[in-house]
């Protein structure tokens, strides 16, 4: 191997190490979290076993908006001090105890925000209506049908209506109803693994 090729290869490894270190630093901070997709409900936007970067401080300045893809805890509040402390302790224990799964202890869902405070949501003939207007959903796959929750439904104060993009398999607000804003962990902003899928999430 000639000197020029060797230097080029060393440079590529240095760049790769820097990127990996930067991502690891971001993940370990309070500003971002790493989440692994463990369901098919967001296909074809997100696929099972993809790793995502979640912005967990952005909503401190501006609340969730329609179209945002968010992660949220199913049975606890993100902003609750006791829950934060318990998640921190569990995170440490899971690093040393391979029999513990953090995601099982603190179940998350990944969904898309469809309705925010004040919106009226309805589903008719396989389409979603927000405030009486049919919305275009190029990201959605499968037929969108109403389920257990009675529609139309008005989104109350500090509540959200969420749906998975894969409508036929997703468990979402059609079944469990509105979620509380305080359950939101953050906004999904990037795919970071596998590397061929790295990119911004829309």
Residues acting as catalytic residues? 41, 111
Residues, the chain, total?
Answer: 202
Q: How crowded is residue 131: how many other Cβ atoms within 10 Å of its Cβ?
A: 13
Conformational region of residue 49, where left means phi above 0, alpha means psi within -120 to 50, and beta covers everything else: left
Q: Tell me whether strands 179-180 and 108-115 are parallel, antiparallel or unpaired.
A: unpaired
List the end-to-end C-alpha distance of the chain, in Å, as a whole number.
43
DSSP letter, residue 58: G
Distances (CA, A) of 172 to 42, 72, 129, 163: 11, 12, 16, 5
Rounded distance, CA 170 to CA 163, Å? 7
Kindly state the helix (H) or strand (E) to which residue 186 belongs, with its residue range. strand 184-193
Rounded distance, CA 143 to CA 41, Å? 13
Residue 202 DSSP SS3: coil
């Amino acid at each position: 191997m000639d000197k020029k090729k060797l230097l080029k290869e060393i440079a590529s490894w240095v760049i790769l190490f820097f990127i990996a270190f930067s991502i690891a630093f971001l993940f370990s901070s309070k500003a971002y979290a790493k989440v692994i997709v463990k369901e098919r409900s967001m296909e074809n936007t997100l696929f099972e076993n993809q790793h995502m970067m979640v912005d967990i401080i952005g909503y401190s300045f501006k609340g969730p908006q329609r179209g945002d893809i968010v992660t949220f805890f199913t049975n606890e509040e993100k902003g609750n001090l006791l829950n934060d402390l318990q998640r921190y302790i569990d995170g440490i224990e899971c690093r040393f105890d391979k029999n513990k799964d953090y995601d099982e202890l603190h179940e998350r869902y990944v969904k898309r925000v469809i309705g925010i405070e004040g919106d009226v949501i309805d589903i008719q003939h396989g389409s979603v209506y927000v405030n009486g207007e049919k919305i275009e959903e190029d990201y959605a796959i499968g037929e969108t049908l109403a389920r257990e929750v009675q529609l139309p439904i008005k989104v109350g104060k500090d509540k959200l209506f969420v749906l998975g993009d894969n409508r036929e398999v997703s468990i979402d607000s059609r079944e469990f109803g509105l979620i509380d804003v305080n359950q939101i962990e953050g906004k999904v902003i990037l795919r970071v693994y596998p590397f061929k899928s790295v990119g911004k999430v829309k």
